[in-house]
Each structure stands twice: as structure tokens, then as C-alpha cells.
């Protein structure tokens, strides 16, 4: 797992005190707002106002007036209109929203959601021809279409008008359509660009109705909230207002389909929150399109019969279980490809491929790989001569720009800065892997940031913090759940839970203790032990058990307290460069080259206590090093593994074998490569 860069926000306490006094809000909530960059009293007031009105005029988005005029004319004329959507949560909710609105207007409307596996993303020529044959004279896309250049030409040839509503990045050429409604158009005067597909569809409905949105949000806000959260767009500005209003609607008067989906997920008694949508509802809605048919999710969202909703929710929940199993199996295969010493584990952009991998889950696998290894990832599924891939990236590296730069070896591509999709010939995968890494070599690959909103002492954790945090919900992209730093705490106890899949720790500082849980960290891989001093990045959550409410402390990151952040990251950067077989400067080589004394110290330390998860930063602490020698220590471990003096088990625990051979470490190929640069 690649180390994250810890960044502690420098909160403006004076500003926070001023905001708290002027607005009458909790001082801790004001401090969190100040830590997120708010410095304008009016912006902060709107941020905390639960009844803040929508601000963005629908007609401020380019071509919105043209789109509304053409659709209204089609409704009045009884033309057959097709709402052409997408199979993810954003696309399904957008399709449901616009289609249900058209039904209320008495429109002659149908809906079309392409099959993920047989058609892929977006408008396609076969679908255009089939719809034209049915008598459709107007296609309105939602959450797709801005790159449908050829499809727009074909639609025009068939006498079918096309209106595009989308939120993806715009290419050099726009489709030849009646209207292209996308806030990312360079000529779009809209002041807010970061809406989801369902957000743009909602603004279209507002334009059709001649409403600013404050009335219609009470009708469609739940769909807007689900799709916006599901697409992981920023929950700030207009999105924050729409999502907050939508969540309120879901709590006050949930749709039968949404209630049924919560019930089968075991969350029927829980209130709706952004986290509920993100981790319970949206994955299941997505699963319908990934593992079966997105129409199931579409039907569920618009279902008004409770029994039918329960049946559909049960089917979708089963699809989600299958999705989880399939995803786990592919992820395990990818993990074997990324074992230590593999050719691609140190690539700037990780590109993996496999025959017959389910295309419905490769995007999730890519996200998991990116999270684990801290690098952009492309997971490609081969189907004979054809292949499709899903891409995920990290903040500071645009995967869209990267694949655009090598697009001449692709058949098609599209997406965002942090997520994209592509298609290519299987025979060109190796070329794509090489070229995208050559592109990345000219860019500085950033570390994933572990952002800390503010420091906390274990003795300061109480229910009052949860109350203050609730004022800045909903949490999501652009407004994440606050992350707090417990710095310099002593690890008093650590034990495995759930058969060792997670760990529970007790930490202390200044006489105060806190119990924390680290989900997803296997006990056998946790490199720290009782008595160690560590820093923890944590979230605080509410836990209600037997009628008693407590604060749960959930670990999001851990590092030793004794190392220097800048020195650690610098050492990691140099050693990664060396591991990619790139040329080092003489100074860089010297920073890696170990001496005899360090070799002996490393051997003794590992013999005394095996090194879990190859965590050389933990080994630095045991050797009394602040991270300055991390690259050298990493080199020693790798050299000794190469020469058989050390060994590693399947869990990456490094240990001294029973009878280590007597060898000359200078004969190591790794050592020879280092010395070649000195």
C-alpha cells in the first residue's frame, strides 16, 4: 500500500470565533467551516442554512432555452419522444426523473437505457436506427451524448431531432443537435459547472415548467439527491442545496421503491443520509445495470405498489450480492498480478487486463486498486480481439488527459478527471500500458492526500462533536466527512475482530484513552505493536446500541509518530524511481546505497521481530531513524530477500529463515544497479 501524504489544515480560529458569534452557530462547526476555506459570512450563512434556496437559473446553462422549446413543441404535437439514459445511478435517476415528468405532461414518451455489456455507454447508432424505426422523432439524452458525434449525424439523416443533456467533459467538436446542454461547454455562462447528469436533467425540467426549482425540488429532489451522490460530484454550491432538500424529502416521504431497497439492505429503521445513499442505495442501483438490467432499477424508482417494489428490491439486492462476489474474485486476481517484484506494481499508472473479466465491475476494481496503491489504475477486460477498460485516478492527475494523450491507440474513450472509460483492441493493450506510463513520466505523480481537518485529543471526543458535525452535512465529494488527527498517541492494546479481518485498538495520551476500530486492516498485516507511538487519522460516527448513543472512532490512516513526513515521502519517491529502473542521479543513488552497519542492524531487527506487510517505515522507528534512511532500509530488505537471507510469507511478513545462507550482498543484482549510479 502506497503511503499517503498527511496534510493538516491550518484552521483560522479567530475567523471561526467570528463566524460562530455572528451566525449563532456551534463554535466547533464554525471551526470546521473555516478549515474548509470559507471566509465570506454570506457563503457560510448559506452553507449552514437548511432552507437555502436554489440559486442557479436553468436558463443560465447554454442551449437550455432551445431544448425546452423543442421538447414543449414535441409534447404539444404528440410526437414520440425517447429519453435516452445510462445504466448507472446517475443515469437511471436522470432517466426516471425526465420520463416521469413527461408522463405528468401527457407526453407520448418512451425510455431507453443501453445494455452495459452488449451496447456500452452512451448513444449508439444501432439504438438510433431502432428508435427511428419505432417512429421516434425526438431523442433527449440524459447523462450522456456530448461525445456522440457520429450518432448525431445518423439521427439527422433519419429525420430524428436530438437534444443532448450531459455533464461530462466536452471535446473539440459538439454533436450536431438541436441543443447541447452541458455546463462544461466553453461558451456556457453558468456559474456552477459541477452538476451530475440528473442535476442537469432536473434543470431541464425546471426550464420546461418555467420554475426556478424551489417547487419542483419537492417532487424530484430524492432522485436528484440519489444520482448526485452516486456520481460523486462535489456536494457544494447548488448540488449541496439540491441534495440536502432531496434527503429531507426521502426522510419525510420516501418513494415505495426506495423504502423497499432500504428494507432488503437491512437499513429499514435507519434515517436517510448522504452516506446511506452512497454506501447502501447507489451500489444496489448500480448493481442492476452491472449484473442484469438497469430497467429493474428504473422500474423500482417509479414503482408505486409496495408489493411490487419489495419484489424488485429483492431482485436488485440479489444482483448486488452477485456483484460483490464477482468483484472480489477479480480483485483477488489483480492482487496476484501486483505481488512484490512484479513488473507493473511500481508503474506510475497501473494497467492490468484479464480475459472475460465482468465489465460491470471492473470500474469498482479499478477504484479499489487506486485506493490501495495510491496510483491511477486502468482495469481492462478482454473479450477476444476487443477490450474495454475502466479508469480511476487520484487528485492531481487527470486520467482523462492521460488517455486523451494516447487516444490514437484507442477505439473510443470518455469521462472525467478522476474516472473514465475506454475501448481498444486487445493487441494494443501492451502499447497502451507503455505509452500512458511514458505520458505519466513527464508529470509529477502526486501522493494521495490524507487530509486532517483539525487535531483532537482522546479526552476531547464526545457526543457534542457529533452534533456540531451534523450541521455541515451532507457529506460527500467536495464536503467530506471531517477527518481528525490523534497525534502522538500510545498504542496500549490491539486485537483482531471478525476473525482477524479488522482490528480494535486502545490508544492513550495525557491520561485519556480512546477505543478505535480499523476496518479492512487485517490483524496479521498491522505493523505496529503495544507501546508504539502512532498518529491516527479518524472519523467520528454515531453508534446506537441498546438505546445508548456513543461515539465510534473509525481509523482512516495510521503512521508512526517518530518519522519526518517530508523525509519519508522523499525517500519513497526516490526508491520508486529506482524500482522502475529509471536513471538516478549520484545523490539519489547515495540516498539508497546501504552500508555494512545498516545491513547488520536490519538483519538483527527482523530476526528479533518479523516485519509485517513489508512496512519499512515501521522498521525505521525500530532502528531509531526518522525516515532519512527509509530508502536505504527498503533497499536492504529487498537485497536480503533477493539473496535469501530474508524471506516473506503470503501475507508479506518478512522474517529470517531457519538457516539463512552466507552470501556476499555486494553480489546482489539490486546492489549492483545502485552502485552503477554512484
Residue 343: which domain range? 338-402+409-422
Chain-wide mean pLDDT for the chain? 94
Instruction: Answer yes or no: are the C-beta atoms of 534 and 491 closer than 8 Å.
Output: yes
pLDDT score of 372 more than 70: yes
Residue 548 belongs to some domain of the structure: no
Domain boundary among 176, 193, 211: 211
The pLDDT of residue 171 is 84
The pLDDT of residue 491 is 98
Average pLDDT over residues 292-318: 96
Lowest mean pLDDT among 14-28, 81-95, 282-296, 495-509: 14-28
How do residues 195-231 score in pLDDT, each as one tens digit? 999 999 999 999 999 988 989 999 999 999 999 999 9
Residue 242 belongs to some domain of the structure: no
Joined together, the cell numbers standing for residue 62 give 447554454
pTM for this model (two decimals): 0.88
User: What CATH number corresponds to the domain at position 99?
Assistant: 3.90.1640.30
Confidence of residue 65 (pLDDT cuts 50, 70, 90): very high
Phi and psi, residue 582, nearest 5°: -90, 160
Which candidate, 184, 160, 155, places its Cα nearest to that of 172? 184
Residue 32 belongs to some domain of the structure: no
How do residues 67-104 score in pLDDT, each as one tens digit? 999 999 999 999 999 999 999 999 999 999 999 999 99
Residue 458 belongs to some domain of the structure: no
Domain boundary among 211, 233, 268: 211
User: What CATH number corresponds to the domain at position 360?
Assistant: 3.10.310.30
Confidence of residue 13 (pLDDT cuts 50, 70, 90): confident
d(CA 672, CA 678): 10
Confidence of residue 487 (pLDDT cuts 50, 70, 90): very high
350/207 same-domain check: no
Average pLDDT over residues 25-31: 90
The pLDDT of residue 1 is 66
Helix axes 294-302, 256-264, angle to 10 degrees: 120
The pLDDT of residue 545 is 77
Confidence of residue 40 (pLDDT cuts 50, 70, 90): confident
The structural domain count of the chain equals: 3
Inter-CA distances, 370 with 4, 105, 331, 374, 581, Å = 12, 45, 12, 5, 22
Average pLDDT over residues 293-313: 96
Give the helix ranges, DSSP H, for 428-536.
429-441, 463-470
The pLDDT of residue 242 is 96
207/343 same-domain check: no
Instruction: Answer yes or no: are the C-beta atoms of 141 and 165 closer than 8 Å.
Output: yes
The pLDDT of residue 608 is 96
pLDDT score of 41 more than 70: yes
What is the dihedral sign for C-alpha 212, 215, 216, 217? Answer: positive
Residue 23 belongs to some domain of the structure: no
How do residues 565-578 score in pLDDT, each as one tens digit? 999 999 999 999 99
- For cell 506487510, what's the residue? 613
Residue 156 belongs to some domain of the structure: yes
Residue 64 belongs to some domain of the structure: yes
The pLDDT of residue 38 is 80
pLDDT score of 519 more than 70: yes
d(CA 437, CA 90): 31
pLDDT score of 530 more than 90: yes
What is the arrangement of strands in the sheet containing 386-392, beginning at the earlier edge strand?
A: 350-355, 377-383, 386-392, 419-425, 412-415
Domain boundary among 178, 211, 244: 211
Residue 44 belongs to some domain of the structure: no
Length of the chain: 678
Amino acid at each position: 500500500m502506497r503511503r499517503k501524504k498527511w496534510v493538516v489544515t491550518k484552521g483560522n480560529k479567530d475567523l471561526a470565533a467570528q463566524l460562530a458569534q455572528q451566525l449563532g452557530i456551534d463554535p466547533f462547526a464554525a471551526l470546521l467551516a473555516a478549515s474548509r476555506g470559507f471566509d465570506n459570512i454570506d457563503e457560510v450563512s448559506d452553507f449552514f442554512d437548511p432552507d437555502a434556496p436554489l440559486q442557479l437559473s436553468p436558463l443560465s446553462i447554454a442551449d437550455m432555452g432551445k431544448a425546452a422549446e423543442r421538447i414543449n413543441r414535441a409534447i404539444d404535437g404528440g410526437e414520440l419522444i425517447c429519453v435516452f439514459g445510462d445504466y448507472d445511478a446517475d443515469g437511471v435517476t436522470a432517466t426516471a426523473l425526465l420520463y416521469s415528468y413527461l408522463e405528468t405532461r401527457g407526453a407520448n414518451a418512451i425510455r431507453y437505457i443501453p445494455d452495459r455489456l452488449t451496447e456500452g455507454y452512451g448513444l449508439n447508432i444501432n439504438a438510433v436506427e431502432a428508435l427511428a424505426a419505432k417512429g421516434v422523432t425526438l431523442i433527449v439524452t440524459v447523462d450522456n451524448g456530448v461525445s456522440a458525434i457520429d450518432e448525431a449525424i445518423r439521427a439527422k439523416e433519419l429525420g430524428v431531432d436530438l437534444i443532448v443533456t450531459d455533464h461530462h467533459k466536452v471535446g473539440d467538436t459538439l454533436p450536431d443537435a438541436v441543443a447541447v446542454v452541458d455546463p462544461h461547454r466553453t461558451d456556457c455562462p453558468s456559474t456552477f459547472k459541477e452538476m451530475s447528469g440528473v442535476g442537469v436533467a432536473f434543470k431541464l425540467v425546471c426550464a420546461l415548467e418555467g420554475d426556478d426549482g424551489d417547487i419542483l425540488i419537492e417532487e424530484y429532489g430524492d432522485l436528484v439527491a440519489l444520482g448526485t451522490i452516486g456520481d460523486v460530484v462535489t456536494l457544494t454550491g447548488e448540488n449541496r442545496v439540491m441534495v440536502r432538500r432531496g434527503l429531507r424529502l426521502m426522510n419525510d416521504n420516501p418513494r415505495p421503491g426506495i423504502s423497499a431497497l432500504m428494507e432488503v439492505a437491512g437499513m429499514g429503521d435507519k434515517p436517510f443520509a448522504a452516506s446511506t445513499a452512497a454506501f447502501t442505495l447507489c451500489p444496489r442501483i448500480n448493481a442492476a445495470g452491472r449484473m442484469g438490467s438497469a430497467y429493474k432499477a428504473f422500474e423500482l424508482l417509479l414503482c408505486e405498489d409496495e408489493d411490487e417494489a419489495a419484489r424488485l428490491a429483492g431482485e436488485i439486492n440479489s444482483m448486488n450480492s452477485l456483484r460483490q462476489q464477482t468483484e472480489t474474485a477479480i480483485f483477488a486476481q489483480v492482487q496476484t498480478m501486483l505481488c512484490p517484484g512484479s513488473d507493473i506494481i511500481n508503474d506510475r499508472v497501473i494497467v492490468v487486463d484479464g480475459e472475460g473479466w465482468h465489465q460491470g465491475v471492473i470500474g469498482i476494481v479499478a477504484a479499489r486498486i487506486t485506493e490501495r496503491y495510491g496510483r491511477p489504475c486502468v482495469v481492462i477486460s478482454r473479450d477476444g480481439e476487443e477490450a474495454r477498460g475502466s479508469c480511476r485516478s487520484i487528485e492531481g492527475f487527470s486520467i482523462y488527459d492521460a488517455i486523451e494523450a494516447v487516444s490514437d491507440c484507442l477505439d473510443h474513450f470518455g469521462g472525467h478527471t478522476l474516472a473514465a472509460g475506454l475501448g481498444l483492441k486487445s493487441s494494443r493493450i501492451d502499447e497502451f500500458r507503455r505509452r500512458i506510463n511514458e505520458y505519466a513520466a513527464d508529470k509529477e505523480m502526486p501522493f494521495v492526500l490524507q487530509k486532517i481537518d483539525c487535531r483532537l485529543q482522546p479526552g476531547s471526543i464526545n457526543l457534542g462533536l457529533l452534533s456540531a458535525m451534523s450541521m455541515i452535512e451532507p457529506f460527500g465529494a467536495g464536503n467530506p466527512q471531517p477527518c481528525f488527527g490523534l497525534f502522538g498517541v500510545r498504542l496500549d492494546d490491539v486485537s483482531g475482530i471478525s476473525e482477524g479481518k479488522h482490528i480494535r485498538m486502545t490508544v492513550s495520551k495525557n491520561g485519556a484513552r480512546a477505543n478505535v476500530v480499523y476496518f479492512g486492516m487485517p490483524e496479521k498485516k498491522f505493523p505496529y505493536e503495544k507501546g508504539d507511538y502512532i498518529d491516527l487519522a479518524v472519523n467520528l460516527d454515531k453508534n446506537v446500541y441498546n438505546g445508548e448513543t456513543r461515539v465510534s472512532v473509525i481509523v482512516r490512516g495510521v503512521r508512526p509518530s517518530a518519522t519526518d513526513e517530508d523525509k519519508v515521502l522523499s525517500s519513497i519517491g526516490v526508491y520508486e524511481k529506482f524500482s522502475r529502473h529509471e536513471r538516478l542521479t549520484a545523490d539519489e543513488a547515495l540516498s539508497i546505497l546501504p552500508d555494512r552497519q545498516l545491513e547488520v542492524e536490519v538483519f538483527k531487527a527482523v530476526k528479533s521481530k518479523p516485519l509485517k506487510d513489508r512496512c519499512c517505515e515501521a522498521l525505521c522507528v525500530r532502528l531509531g531513524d526518522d525516515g532519512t534512511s527509509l530508502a536505504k532500509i527498503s533497499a536492504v530488505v529487498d537485497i536480503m530477500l533477493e539473496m535469501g537471507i530474508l524471506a516473506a510469507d503470503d501475507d508479506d511478513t518478512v522474517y529470517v529463515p531457519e538457516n539463512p545462507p552466507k552470501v556476499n550482498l555486494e553480489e546482489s543484482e539490486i546492489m549492483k544497479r545502485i552502485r552503477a549510479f554512484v
